[in-house]
Structure 1
Amino acid sequence: MRPTLRTFWLILAAVPLAVILLAISPTLVSLTGYYLALVMFLLLIDWLSCPRAPKISFLIEEPAQIYIGESQPLVVSAERADGIALPAVQVAIEVNDILDQDAQTPVTIAPGGGWTEVALTPLSRGTATIPTVWFRWRGPLGLAERQIEETPDLKIPVLPNFQLAARSAQDLMGAASEEFGPRPDIRRGDGSEFSSLREYVPGMDPRTVDWKRSARYRGLLVKEFEAERNHQIILAFDTGHLMAERLGGLTRLDHMVNAGLVLAHAALKGGDRVGLFSFDSQVRSYVKPLSGITSFSHLQHYMAAMQCDVSETNYTLAMTRLAEQLTRRTLVVLFTDFVDTTTAELMRENLSHLAVHHFVVFVALKDPYLERTANQPVEDVKDISRAATAAELLKERQLLFSNLRRQGILCLEPESAHLVGHVINQYRTIINQELV
C-alpha cells in the first residue's frame, strides 16, 4: 500500500485543527486523535477497495520498428479479469537515449479500462529499449494507491527513413511518379551500351545506321544506345565524432545515411551494384557490392547499425583499406566532413590517390552556423573575432573543394534539407555521361 498526496494533506491538516481546538478549549485537543484515527480508517478502507494487481490484465504492444523523423505509438491497455470497471491507471515507461525522453512523461488510461498511447520519437538510429513499465492506480477515495513494475525489456529497431527521404527527393526533383527511382535515360547516339534497333528517320545521325541488319531488313535501321549499367558503387560513411553534430533535428550521419539509402535504392533499381564502407579511427564495416533490388533490405540493415564514434577519423587507414578492396573502377561516394586544415590536407592526399583509379564524389553538408556567423552584423570585438574565424574556416573549406576538383573529384556541399536531391541528380548525371 502507498498513501497518496491527498492522505498526507489530510494528516497535515491535523496540525491547524489542533491549534484551533486548543484556542477554543484545551479539552477539545483530544478530538485531533479521533480525526487522525478516522483518516487511518478511511485509508485502510480505500486500500482494501483498491483492485489488486493479479485481478488486472496489462498488455503492452510495441511497434515492429521506428523510422527516423517519425513517431510510432506504444499501445498500453488494462482491464479487469472479473469485468468490474477499473479506476484510472497511470502509466510511465523508461527509455534509453535513442528515444526522446518526453516518452517518459506519465500517461493515463481512462477510468473503466481501455488503452492509451505513448509517442515514441527516435533521436538517432540504433536499438530503442524500454526496460521497465510502471502502472499505478488509486482506490475510490483517492487515499491509497497500488503500483506494479513490469520489465518487458522491449527492443525496437530504429531504422533510417527511406520513404521520407525518397519523398523529399521526389519533391525536390519534381518527379511525377509516386514510385521513386531512376528510369533508364535513353539518349539517341549517346552512351556505349546497345539498346535496340529502329527505323531510320531523316535527321538521325547516319553513323548509327546498322548496315548489315538494314540489308536483311531491306530498309535503313539505326542503333539506339543507352548509358552503361552494372557499375560498381561504394557508399563510404565517415562515422567519426564530427558526424554526431545535429542539423535540423538529425545528426549529420543520419542525414547522410538517408541520402545513401535513396541512392542505393535508385542504383540497385537501375541495375548497378552497391556496397558499403564505414570508418572512423578504424574500419567499422565493409559490405561487398550487391546487385538486385532484393539486396536493399540487407544494405538498410547495415546502414541502421552505423553509429557515431567519439574518435578522430583516420582517413589514411580508411582510404588505404578501401583501395585494397576495389578490384575494378568504382564510383565511390564519400559522406564526410572536416573542420581543420590538418584533417583537410590528409583527406586531400588520400582522396587524390583513390581518384587515380576510381571516380570519387565528395559529399559534405553545408554548415549553417558558419554561414550565419560569418555574415552576422558586427556589434563588438567578440563579433569581429567570431566572424573572422568563421570566414577563415569557410575559406579553407572552399580551398579544399577547389583542390579536390582539380584532381577530378566531384564535390557536393548542399544544405541538409536538399542533400538527397543533390546526390540523386549527380548520380544520374554521372551514369548518363558514363564518367565511371
Structure 2
Amino acid sequence: MTTSSTKRSRPFRSLVNRLLENGVLPTKRMIILLGCGAAVAAAGSLAGLGYALFWMYNALLLLASIADWYTMPRAKKIAAVRRLPEQTDIGQELTVSIELENHSGQPILFRLRDDLPISFDRPEAVEGILKQKYEMVSYTTRGNERGLFTLSYLYLRYQGKIRLWEKQAKIPCEQKIKVYPDLTAVRGYLQSLQDSLIVDGKKILLRTRSGTEFHAIREYVQDDDPRYINWSASARSRRLMTNQYRPEQGKVLTILLDCGRMMGVELEGKTKLDLTIESALTLAAVALKQGDQVALLAFSHEIKTYVPPGRGLAHLHTLVEAVYDLQSDFVESNPLQALEYLHRQQKRRSLIVLFSDMENYLLEDQLGAYLWRLRRSHLLLLLSLADPLLHEWSRTETKDSRLAYIKALAQRFWLDRKAFQQKMIGAGIQVLDIPADQLTLTVVNSYLDIKSREAL
C-alpha cells in the first residue's frame, strides 16, 4: 500500500517552514567571528595551544549565541499591517506604508521585504531600528502591468541584542490592488474647464458650436457666427450676446476592443492593447461629457465582456472596471463574431469604433461584406495601430538582394493596407491606420468631427 505524495512530503514542508519561513540565520557579525576563531586557532597552534584556544573561543561564542537567542524577541511579539491604496495607474509611483508593532519591550534591528508581484518594481529592503511600540515605515514601487494583484505576506528579519543571529518571520497580510490603465488624459479632460480639448499637451479641436439643440447664451467673442447673435439678450445686458448651440445629445457610441494575439505586440514599451484601452477610455470620457451614451464590447475568439450603453460620468467608472484587467489572448481574434453579437444586443443606431489590428481586417474574408451590410444601420470607424517596423523596412536602402526582398515584401504589405482602406472608404466606412503616439488624438478628433457634422 502506497502513501500519497502529500503525506510523504509533509516532513519536507515542515522543514521548509522551519528554515525559510521561521528559521534562524547567522548575521554578518557571526560569520566574521567564526572566521576570527579560525585565525585564533591557527595562531594558537604555532604556540602549541591550538586545541585549547579553539575550544575556549568556540565555547565563548556558543555562550554568546545562547544569550543572543534568549534575548531575541518571539515572533508573536511583532506584528505588521500594510496600508496601500485600492488602485493605482500603470507606471505611476506608489507609496506603500507598513505599520510595525513591537510588544517585546526592547529595541529591534529589522529588515523588511514585501510580497510584491513580479510585474512591480522591487525596491531595496526596508531597514531600521524599531524603538517604539508603534512605528511607520514606507517604500515606493510601481506597477508595470494592468490587472488585479494580490500581496499576501510580509517577510521580516530581526536580530537580538548581541546581533549574532537573526530570525525570519512570514507575516500573513493579504491585500489586493488594482492597476488601472494610464488615465492621465481622461483625468486631464474631465478636470479641464477650457473650451478646448487638450490631449498630450495638444489642443486638438474646439468643442463644436454647431448643432440644432440650444445650449446657452454667452458673451459674443471674436470669430463667433454673427447669425447667432441674440439681440434681445444683448439689449438687456448692454453687451453683445450670442446663442450657443450643440449637437443633439443622447447618441450612442459603441467601443469594440480586440484582445486577440496581435494586440499583445509591444509598441513603445506598452502593448497595443494597453494603448487602445487608454485611447478608448479617453474617447468614452469625451462622449459621456458630451451627453452621449457609451457601450463597450471586448472580444478575442470569444466575447470577453460587454457593457450596455450608459450615460453620465458614473458610467465611466463602470467602463474602467470592465477593461482594467483585460489581457490579450494567444489566439486569433474573431471580429465578425463580435459584430454579430453586438448586432443582436444593440438595435439602436450608433457610432461603432473598432480598435483592432490591420492584419485582422485583411485576414478575415467575410468581414468586409458584413461591414458593408452593417453600415446601413450604424456608422463605422475602424482603427489600427500602424506598424513602425513595416514603415521602416519599406523605406530602407536596398544594399543587397536580401534587403531588396525584405523591402519589396514590406511595400507589398503596405499597399495591401492602403487598398483595404480605399475599399472601405468607398463603401462609406472610415479606416484609420495611425501611429501609436497619435491614436488618442486622432480618435477623439474623429468623434468630435462626426458630432459637429451631425453625421450620427
Give TM-score scaled by structure 1 length: 0.82
Whether 2:146 is the aligned partner of 1:146: answer no
Query: Which runs of 5 or more residues in structure 1 are unaligned?
Result: 177-181, 210-221
Query: Any idea what the Cα deviations from partners look like across 1:9-31, whole Å, max 9, x if unmatched?
Result: 43345445444443x14443332
Give the match for residue 88 of structure 2: 66
Query: Any idea what the Cα deviations from partners look like across 1:60-113, whole Å, max 9, x if unmatched?
Result: 1121211123121211232423664332x211122334x32x336533245646
- AA paired with 2:294? V
Whether 2:155 is the aligned partner of 1:103: answer no
CA distance in 2, matches of 1:389, 1:165: 39
Query: Any idea what the Cα deviations from partners look like across 1:188-210, whole Å, max 9, x if unmatched?
Result: xxx34456899xxxx967xx99x
Query: Any idea what the Cα deviations from partners look like across 1:171-222, whole Å, max 9, x if unmatched?
Result: 446459xxxxx986223xxx34456899xxxx967xx99xxxxxxxxxxxx9
1:3 to 23, 26, 32: 26
More displaced stretch, 363-372 vs 131-140: 363-372
Deviation at 1:231, TM superposition (A): 0.9
Whether 2:441 is the aligned partner of 1:421: answer yes
Question: Does the Cα contact within 8 Å between 2:154 and 2:170 map onto a contact in 1?
Answer: yes
Whether 2:416 is the aligned partner of 1:393: answer no
Question: Does the Cα contact within 8 Å between 1:277 and 1:286 map onto a contact in 2?
Answer: yes
CA distance in 2, matches of 1:75, 1:197: 51
Query: Any idea what the Cα deviations from partners look like across 1:304-363, whole Å, max 9, x if unmatched?
Result: 242222221012211211222231221001111143785254543443332232111111
Question: Does the Cα contact within 8 Å between 1:170 and 1:421 map onto a contact in 2?
Answer: no
Question: Does the Cα contact within 8 Å between 2:108 and 2:160 map onto a contact in 1?
Answer: no
Aligned counterparts, 1:328-343, within 5 A:
328-339=348-359, 343=363
More displaced stretch, 165-174 vs 247-256: 165-174
Question: Does the Cα contact within 8 Å between 2:42 and 2:50 map onto a contact in 1?
Answer: no
Query: % of aligned pairs identical?
Result: 24
CA distance in 2, matches of 1:383, 1:106: 50
Deviation at 1:159, TM superposition (A): 1.9
- Change in CA separation of 1:204 and 1:61 when aligned onto 2, cut-off 3 Å: closer
Across the two proteins, how many residue pairs are aligned to each other? 406
Give the match for residue 163 of structure 1: 184
* Deviation >6 Å, runs of 4+: none
CA distance in 2, matches of 1:286, 1:174: 32
- AA paired with 1:7? M
CA distance in 1, matches of 2:36, 2:397: 60
CA distance in 2, matches of 1:44, 1:82: 18
Query: Which runs of 5 or more residues in structure 2 are unaligned?
Result: 1-23, 190-196, 219-224, 230-241
More displaced stretch, 252-261 vs 345-354: 345-354
CA distance in 1, matches of 2:314, 2:39: 75
More displaced stretch, 411-420 vs 111-120: 111-120
Give the match for residue 251 of structure 1: 271
Give the match for residue 317 of structure 2: 297
Secondary structure of residue in 2 paired with 1:115: strand
Secondary structure of residue in 2 paired with 1:401: helix
More displaced stretch, 34-43 vs 129-138: 34-43
Question: Does the Cα contact within 8 Å between 1:75 and 1:118 map onto a contact in 2?
Answer: yes
- Change in CA separation of 1:340 and 1:127 when aligned onto 2, cut-off 3 Å: closer
Query: Any idea what the Cα deviations from partners look like across 1:266-308, whole Å, max 9, x if unmatched?
Result: 1111111111111100111222111222322222211224222
Query: Any idea what the Cα deviations from partners look like across 1:127-164, whole Å, max 9, x if unmatched?
Result: 01112210112234431101111122211112233234
Higher share in strand: 2
Question: Does the Cα contact within 8 Å between 2:283 and 2:444 map onto a contact in 1?
Answer: yes
- Change in CA separation of 1:224 and 1:13 when aligned onto 2, cut-off 3 Å: closer
Whether 2:286 is the aligned partner of 1:266: answer yes
- AA paired with 2:140? A
- AA paired with 1:324? R
Deviation at 1:406, TM superposition (A): 1.9
Give TM-score scaled by structure 2 length: 0.78
- Change in CA separation of 1:262 and 1:365 when aligned onto 2, cut-off 3 Å: same
Query: Any idea what the Cα deviations from partners look like across 1:235-256, whole Å, max 9, x if unmatched?
Result: 1100112212222332211211
Give the match for residue 90 of structure 1: 111
CA distance in 2, matches of 1:362, 1:77: 51
- Change in CA separation of 1:160 and 1:139 when aligned onto 2, cut-off 3 Å: same
Question: Does the Cα contact within 8 Å between 2:333 and 2:360 map onto a contact in 1?
Answer: no
Deviation at 1:262, TM superposition (A): 1.5
1:116 to 129, 134, 137: 137
Question: Does the Cα contact within 8 Å between 2:80 and 2:171 map onto a contact in 1?
Answer: no
Give the match for residue 12 of structure 2: none
Give the match for residue 217 of structure 1: none
- AA paired with 1:41? L
Deviation at 1:392, TM superposition (A): 3.4
- Change in CA separation of 1:109 and 1:411 when aligned onto 2, cut-off 3 Å: farther
Secondary structure of residue in 2 paired with 1:254: helix
Question: Does the Cα contact within 8 Å between 1:259 and 1:420 map onto a contact in 2?
Answer: yes
1:237 to 257, 263, 279: 257
- Change in CA separation of 1:429 and 1:256 when aligned onto 2, cut-off 3 Å: same
Give the match for residue 314 of structure 1: 334
2:209 to 168, 183, 186: 186
More displaced stretch, 260-269 vs 403-412: 403-412
- AA paired with 1:80? N
C-alpha RMSD of matched pairs (Å): 3.2
- AA paired with 2:375? A
CA distance in 2, matches of 1:328, 1:94: 49
CA distance in 2, matches of 1:383, 1:15: 66
Whether 2:48 is the aligned partner of 1:48: answer no
Secondary structure of residue in 2 paired with 1:170: strand
CA distance in 1, matches of 2:83, 2:216: 54
Secondary structure of residue in 1 paired with 2:173: coil
